[in-house]
Amino acid sequence: MSLTPADPTPKPVRQLSLFGTEAADPSIADLAGLLAGPGEVVRMGRTARLSIPVDAAWRVHVLVAELRSRGLAATWETTGERRFVVRTSYLRTLAPLATAWLDASQRKRPPEGFHLNGRRLRLWLAAAGAADPSGFLLGLAEGDREWWPTVRAALAVVGLPAAVLEPGAGGPALRITGRRLARLAELVGERPSTVPPELWPPTPR
């Protein structure tokens, strides 16, 4: 039996980002990325339900798949022209998320120690990410204005300093530009097959 000599050419080693999508398995804690953007959580007794308003059918497909990968059944409905909402059922497994994100008056706010990573950013991007001529936008909820600085600071910690885009200027959103787009692509991972290519940060070659 003949053996092919080993190729002596060094192969590039792909390093995993500490904060990237491959750093850990999918978990319910990742849903904090949806709440950083337009997502909402409501509590009922010992259960809670997550709702995410979106503006495109592809977002529905991606989010339903992401929720199912975490053991959460999800439904969706049309709420207007090119508007949809994705919802889970009321589930006990979501109660800790609601406890962390709702204050005493049941208003959404980031918990102490809130942080972002690749999986959380991937969900946020799927729910409310958009390309624009200057870079990439991560959509915010206008009613969460008080907490935009907290979310912005969490982005900066993972190497994504961003500018606030006000509602009248095409927001509310956080805009990531320049070389930081490569960092965003590294963190969120490969584009899901149902996402239009121009609506997902291209993976650096």
Burial of 193 (C-beta count, 10 Å sphere; 0-12/13-18/19+): exposed
How far does CA 162 lie from the centroid of its chain?
15
What's 32's domain CATH number?
A: 3.10.28.10
> In this structure, is residue 132 part of a structural domain?
yes
> In this structure, is residue 71 part of a structural domain?
yes
Q: Which residues of the chain have pLDDT under 70?
A: 1-24, 204-205
- Could you tell me if 38 and 143 are in contact, meaning their C-beta atoms sit under 8 angstroms apart? no
Number of domains present in the structure of the chain: 1
> In this structure, is residue 52 part of a structural domain?
yes
> In this structure, is residue 8 part of a structural domain?
no
> In this structure, is residue 150 part of a structural domain?
yes
What separation in angstroms does the CA of 96 have from each of 47, 55, 62, 89, 116? Answer: 9, 28, 24, 15, 18
Residue among 41, 32, 33, 79 nearest 60 (CA): 79
| Beta bridge partners of residue 52, listed in sequence order | 86
> In this structure, is residue 126 part of a structural domain?
yes
> In this structure, is residue 7 part of a structural domain?
no
The whole domain housing 124 covers: 21-199
Report pLDDT for 202. Answer: 83
> In this structure, is residue 15 part of a structural domain?
no
Report pLDDT for 25. Answer: 76
